[in-house]
Amino acid sequence: MVIVKRKQLSFSEKLYLPEILKGMSMTFRAMFKPRTTRQYPEEPLPVNEVTRGQPRLATNDEDGSIRCVSCGLCEAACPAYAITIDGQDTDRNAITIGGDVTEKFIEREPESFDIDMLRCILCGFCEEACPKDAIFMSDELELADFNRNDLIYGLDKLKRPVSQLRPRIDYIYKVNERWQAPSSTR
Amino acid sequence: MDMLITIGVIVAKLTCIYGGMVVIAALTTLAERKVSAWIQFRYGPNRVGPWGVLQPLADGVKFIFKEELVPDGANKWLFRLAPAISAMPAMMGVAVIPFAAASPFYQDEGPLAIASLQIDVLYILAFSGLSIYGIILGGWASNSKFSLLGAIRASAQMISYELALILSIMAVVVMTGSFQMNEIANAQGGAIWNWNIFSQPLAFILFLIATFAETNRHPFDFAECEPELVGGFHTEFSSMRFALFFLGEYCAIFVMCCMTVLFFLGGYHVPFMEDAPWFLQVGAMLTKVIALLFLFIWVRWTIPRFRFDQLMDLGWKRFLPLALANLLVTGAIASGVF
Amino acid sequence: MIKITVNGREVEADPTKPLIAACDDSGIDVPRYCYHPAMEPKGSCRICQVEVSEGGRPGRVMAACRTQVSEGMVVNTEADGAHDARRECLEFLLKNHPLDCPICDKAGECTLQDYSFQEQQAAGRTGEPRANLEKRVDLGDVIMLDQERCILCTRCVRFQEEVTKKPELTNAGLASNSYITTFAGRPLTGNYQGNLADVCPVGALTLKPFRFKARVWNLEKSSSTCAECSRGCSISVEVLRRGDVKRIRPVFNPDVNQWWMCDTGRFSFPEVNDPERLLGGLVANGADLMGSTTGEAIKHAASVLSTSGSKVLIASPFLTVEEAERVQPLAAAIGAELLFVSPDANDLKDDLLHTGDPCPNRKGLENAGFRGISPKDAADRVTGADAAVLVGERILKLLGGFDLGATKLVTFDTTACLASGVEACIATPFYVEKAGTWINVDGHEGELTIARPLPSSVSPLETSLEELTKTLSRTGASV
């Protein structure tokens, strides 16, 4: 059993009024302190490489070809079942990274790649699952639309050049050691 | 012709004073939100108009477009009547508030008030006592336990604090020897130390605190009391009826602030300036009232709510004896016993 | 039968079979790539190594597929030495295996993935480049060969030597330069090429019609029975996202098809993915056909049948036993003989599985009192009658185009018949959408299960037939 002793109040505390005045002086001073509210539309959210925004499919800067091979690992990793991929055969020539042809050719590419942004929870599991450095979380966060169908993003809406995603890619490489080895050694 | 002029003057006074009061009440709701925001390091409403000054207008439009719900089992008549009854006493009360020593209107004698009675102090107290009816009827007619509990609390609180409120004013009335508010105000003209706040500090404190209770404001807002009673007496009200309750509440605060100014803070007198022109007097009056309104808001966002038994304890065991003793001592001094 | 001890448990073993078969029979899983129960063990992959001790001597690690069982043999499949040997074996196999898993169709059901994961063997110690071989060798219409992925288990070579007895593939080159190829790069032939992709433990041999169509872990697999001949091979119907059937694979059934199935059956899935299938029903409206619900079409069919004179009923050989039971009362109600279309044998008959008879439930229908007639005979009977009922999947296709004349026709099929004189078409499920039984040529019962949900506007054939019989008896009573 714990016995809690009540604090013995002094006369001025019993009188309430001085204490009330103390409290009021405190709130009065608070009125002149700086505001912490963000004025959102005018004052945009701070975004940096840690921001997990809308997932994007990386395309190579050299030829604009998509890196995705539609392996379906992001689809499998997605906890919200937001991703749907259909693959197809392709003769497209290889990924070039830094001028080196890293693979003979890519046999497979997505025929359709849909992310249902109404379901996406921006968790970044797809980015983590991707074996081909093809999907990354961009810093684009403002996704509102007027139509449910328009929020199911297809290939055309998801493609982004690698150079635009560069800060995020560097960040991911930095924090994730197992990605350290460049894909050219595969 | 004289008759027409008299009617014209009355209509003009009604328009100015009621219009002014409603505008001030609306702006008070804005001020409430702004000041609370500042105290909490926020901005408050700032989207409608410059600095958000049109926010009350937007609120009003929104209230009008809201669906009006009447709960099942409610007493439909009283439910619809209650908001009107709640707003009425404050509107009636403001009729006797003098805003300047002399009316600037043509052929209008006496102070700048809609009506100047011999016993306007009694009149205004009587109507402020009536304001509880709106709350009780609204709470009872809603057929909701939260509303009823809020209404019962409000009535108990009103009875407890009305005594202290009236007794503390009586000390001022005894000092002045008049039931007319413009005479009480005139007695405080001239130097600032003529204000009754200096001769009756205890009465002032008692009166001020009792007005908080009388208008159901923090820290005595037991009629609403969101954490315990959802919304208290207006839980079931929506749309413009809810807005009317709100308007009534802020008008009551305005009237109470006017009374405080008239009784204790020199009324419409500009300090150290006898016979100031009427517009300066109105300005002085409104400045003091607005300062008090700010105090009301400031207190609301500073002090937490009392417990109900503490409220009753304070009302009956502290305020009533103090007010009685204050009146006794004042009466003794005024009648020359000492 | 002799007695051996496997992982501390005494089990019975067949002395004519290798040790790995005894392990399989006692439910103990031993990894394997080159071993297949249908073929002679070769012992080329060495992944099946287990620790074996005989006569109280210390255990030795040996390949389970090339070890004969002997009385009193003590086997430990989980010995440290066995695991070490498997890990070393995997390191060698993975040395030249490309990291193609993201694009490889085998990923997800690849035993190379499974055992690498199981044995925790992912890293290699070599710095040499991987073998550089042909990645896309087109071996005909069915099979695509990726020589880089091949681990040279030679299951495919032995499948052709021992099962189809028509060797085409071979292991060319020497030692580390070996690769699988056909003579002069000729395409593969025969009706059993699809099995090569099944026996291949990795993604070296993949099916062209399934190439990149789906990831295997997204496929919902249901056991069913093949519809393409009267053999009734046990199959697994694999459906992507509750929609199209993407693949059909054989399921091991010792009584019917062993591990195999023919390409005719394997690639018959476009039949059940028909994008122009009939939904609901069609009802004659003057000269046109008008879409309606199944219920309305059945009502119309009943009124047509109850007002017509001579009637015939022709069933499809695709009817299940359960559906045939519902056809009997209907035939009795309209006074028709029990007949089914029995097309002539096709030229697909072979020694292994295909019977050449395209009626998957011939036995079941004959048992139920149906008589088979040729499509020509059936067409003549339809034309000769006042009203005709055609029941079952693919019945319209089997009868071919024919002139209806004055006959009023009611069809139950997955597609609509648009000839003039058609009174009602009622949609039915495909065989992958229903539960039932087919009886194959040997009297073996093949079960059908619901592999994908039926569209809401289509009702099961049993229900439609019962409904029609009931409506007929009601109108008959009122007349």
Q: Residue C374 maps to which CATH number?
A: 3.40.50.740
Do C378 and C461 belong to one domain?
Answer: yes
Does residue B297 sit at the A interface (CB-CB below 8 Å)?
Answer: no
Q: Which residues contact C321 (CB under 8 A, 6 or more apart)?
A: C361, C364, C367, C368, C436, C437, C438, C439
Do C141 and C289 belong to one domain?
Answer: no
Do C294 and C384 belong to one domain?
Answer: yes
Chain A residues inside the 8 Å CB shell of C241: 84
Instruction: Compute the Cα dihedral for C371, C375, C376, C380 and give only its sign.
Output: positive
Beta carbons of B303 and A23 less than 8 Å apart: yes
Q: What are the percentages of helix, strand and coil residues in chain C, rounded to 5?
A: 30, 25, 50
Q: In what order do the strands lie in the sheet with A83-89?
A: A83-89, A108-116, A152-153
**Average pLDDT along chain C:** 88
Q: What is the pLDDT of residue B266?
A: 83
Does residue C51 or residue C309 have the better pLDDT? C51
Residue C139 has pLDDT above 60, yes or no: yes
Task: Assess if residue C249 is contained within a domain.
Answer: no
Do C469 and C364 belong to one domain?
Answer: yes
Task: Assess if residue B89 is contained within a domain.
Answer: yes
C52: β partners: C60, C75
Task: Assess if residue B47 is contained within a domain.
Answer: no
Do C137 and C63 belong to one domain?
Answer: no
Beta strand A96-97 with A100-101 is antiparallel
Task: Assess if residue B53 is contained within a domain.
Answer: no
Task: Assess if residue B49 is contained within a domain.
Answer: no
Q: Is A136 helix (H, G, I), strand (E, B) or coil?
A: strand
Q: What is the pLDDT of residue A101?
A: 54
Which chains form contacts with chain A, at 3 or more CB pairs under 8 Å? B, C
Task: Assess if residue B50 is contained within a domain.
Answer: no
Share of chain A above pLDDT 90, in %: 25
Q: Do chains A and B touch (3 or more CB pairs under 8 A)?
A: yes
Task: Assess if residue C19 is contained within a domain.
Answer: yes
Q: Which of B41, B205, B302 lies at the smallest CB-CB distance from A36?
A: B41
Instruction: Give the residue-averaged pLDDT of C201-213.
Output: 91
Instruction: Give the residue-averaged pLDDT of A7-14.
Output: 84
User: What are C402-438's pLDDT values in tens digits?
Assistant: 677 778 888 888 888 877 778 888 899 999 999 999 9
Domain CATH for C204: 3.30.70.20
Residue C444 has pLDDT above 60, yes or no: yes
Residue A149 has pLDDT above 60, yes or no: yes
**Spans in chain B with pLDDT lower than 70:** 338
Do C307 and C203 belong to one domain?
Answer: no
Task: Assess if residue C285 is contained within a domain.
Answer: yes
Residue A6 has pLDDT above 70, yes or no: yes
pTM: 0.71
Do C401 and C293 belong to one domain?
Answer: yes
- 3-class SS string, B175-216: HHCCCCHHHHHHCCCCCHHHCHHHHCHHHHHHHHHHHHHHCC
Q: What are the structure tokens assigned to C69, written together?
A: 């069982």
Do C71 and C195 belong to one domain?
Answer: no
Task: Assess if residue B48 is contained within a domain.
Answer: no
Which pLDDT band holds residue C248 (cuts at 50, 70, 90)? very high
Instruction: Give the residue-averaged pLDDT of C48-68.
Output: 88
Instruction: Give the residue-averaged pLDDT of A83-99.
Output: 73
Residue C221 has pLDDT above 90, yes or no: yes
Instruction: Give the residue-averaged pLDDT of C163-180.
Output: 88
Q: What is the pLDDT of residue C174?
A: 85
Tally of domains in chain C: 3
- Secondary element (H or E) of residue C365: helix C362-367
Do C59 and C185 belong to one domain?
Answer: no
Q: Quick one: which of B287, B93, B107, B91 has its CA closest to B181? A: B93
User: What are C11-57's pLDDT values in tens digits?
Assistant: 888 888 899 999 988 888 999 999 999 999 988 888 999 999 888 78
Do C81 and C172 belong to one domain?
Answer: no
Task: Assess if residue C372 is contained within a domain.
Answer: yes
Share of chain C above pLDDT 70, in %: 99
Beta carbons of A72 and C215 less than 8 Å apart: yes
Residue C114 has pLDDT above 60, yes or no: yes
Q: For chain A, positions 105-124, list CB contacts with chain B under 8 A.
A: none
Domain CATH for C25: 3.10.20.740
Task: Assess if residue C422 is contained within a domain.
Answer: yes
Which pLDDT band holds residue A184 (cuts at 50, 70, 90)? very low
Does residue B310 sit at the A interface (CB-CB below 8 Å)?
Answer: no
Which pLDDT band holds residue A173 (cuts at 50, 70, 90)? confident
Does residue C10 or residue C474 have the better pLDDT? C10
Residue C224 has pLDDT above 90, yes or no: yes
Tally of domains in chain B: 1
Domains and CATH numbers, chain A: 55-185 (3.30.70.3270)
Task: Assess if residue B51 is contained within a domain.
Answer: no
Neighbours of C120 (CB within 10 A): 10
| Domain boundary pick from C191, C212, C233 | C212
User: What are C115-131's pLDDT values in tens digits?
Assistant: 999 988 877 788 888 88
Q: For chain A, positions 108-137, list CB contacts with chain C under 8 A.
A: 108, 131-132
- Whole-angstrom Cα distance, residue C198 to residue B57? 75
Domain that holds residue C431: 281-478
Measured between CA atoms, the residue of chain A closest to residue C102 is A71
Beta carbons of A108 and C212 less than 8 Å apart: yes
Domain that holds residue B26: 2-42+58-334
Q: Do chains B and C touch (3 or more CB pairs under 8 A)?
A: no
What is each CA distance from C100 to C105, C150, C218, in whole angstroms? Answer: 9, 12, 19
- Whole-angstrom Cα distance, residue C382 to residue C367? 24
User: What are A24-65's pLDDT values in tens digits?
Assistant: 999 999 888 888 888 888 888 888 888 899 999 998 887 788
Q: What is the pLDDT of residue A98?
A: 53
Do C384 and C436 belong to one domain?
Answer: yes
Q: Which of B43, B205, B298 lies at the smallest CB-CB distance from A27?
A: B298
Q: What are the structure tokens assigned to C460, written together?
A: 């099961």
- Whole-angstrom Cα distance, residue C58 to residue C81? 12
A112: β partners: A86
Does residue A40 sit at the B interface (CB-CB below 8 Å)?
Answer: no
Which pLDDT band holds residue A97 (cuts at 50, 70, 90)? low
Do C88 and C152 belong to one domain?
Answer: no
In contact, C406 and C422? CB cutoff 8 Å: no
- A2 to chain C, minimum CA–CA distance in Å? 56
Chain A residues inside the 8 Å CB shell of B42: 35-37
- Secondary element (H or E) of residue C11: strand C9-13
| Domain boundary pick from C212, C227, C255 | C212
Which pLDDT band holds residue A103 (cuts at 50, 70, 90)? low
Q: What is the pLDDT of residue C286?
A: 74
Does residue B47 sit at the A interface (CB-CB below 8 Å)?
Answer: no
